[in-house]
Chain A
Amino acid sequence: EVQLVQSGAEVKKPEESLKISCKGSGYTFFSYWIGWVRQMPGKGLEWMGMIFPGDSDTRYSPSFQGQVTISVDKSINTAYLQWSSLKASDNAMYYCARTSSPWSGLDVWGQGTTVTVSS
């Protein structure tokens, strides 16, 4: 079965760092892009960026460039989204999802990781 499994919910304080993960299985991990999508409480979907595990080519939405870092460890079929200094405005659900190369729709989604930032 093709699936993406994300790390568990996180509760952090402002200015703390965080790295969440997304592990792929059931398919050739390095042949598909992995994207990250934010959904703030009660709001719509926002595209953050994506990475191609085959060569680590990484693209960011201008809205998130410099705010987060996307990375990958091919050896363990895992992509990451990280923050160096969290803000309260980072409170959201974060999804990873895969898309093919060449680009197509996001056909497989992780279950989501809730990030709560509160002092």
Chain B
Amino acid sequence: EIVLTQSPATLSVSPGERATLSCRASQSVSSKLAWYQQKPGQTPRLLIYGASTRATGVPARFSGSGSGTEFTLTISSLQSEDFAVYYCQLYNNWPFTFGPGTKVDIK
């Protein structure tokens, strides 16, 4: 079973700054990786799939990169609505594990 680790656990960022979140897989998942955003009390929302493709309606300030075992989610200029927890998830093979999440909070 492939394990996903995310770093950092918490990222403190000022509005307007850039945020870089990392997701690492214990084995290659090719480009079969998705990123989700979850705000308190809300349902998760798909941001990125295929490691780098933005889901419908996702602002261009969100971008994903990487393949194999190393992946990055970048938020180019943080807006107030972007403070949330972000999860990566693999789907190259069963089970479709989630990472533990990175919390992005206000500095």
* Residue count of chain A within 8 Å CB distance of chain B: 25
The answer to whether B43 and A105 touch across the interface, beta carbons within 8 angstroms, is: no
The answer to whether B96 and A104 touch across the interface, beta carbons within 8 angstroms, is: no
The B contact surface, by secondary structure, is loop
Listed in ascending order, the chain B residues whose CB lies under 8 Å from chain A are 1, 32, 34, 36, 38, 43-46, 48-50, 55-56, 85, 87, 89, 91, 94-101
Q: State the Cβ distance, B9 to closest chain A Cβ, in Å.
A: 11
Contacts between chains A and B (CB distance < 8 A), count: 69
Minimum CB distance partner of A110 in chain B: B43
The answer to whether B44 and A62 touch across the interface, beta carbons within 8 angstroms, is: no
The answer to whether B44 and A47 touch across the interface, beta carbons within 8 angstroms, is: no
Q: State the Cβ distance, B100 to closest chain A Cβ, in Å.
A: 5
Having A44-B99, A45-B89, A60-B95, one finds 7 other A-B pairs with CB under 8 Å, namely: A44-B85, A45-B36, A45-B98, A61-B96, A62-B1, A97-B44, A110-B43
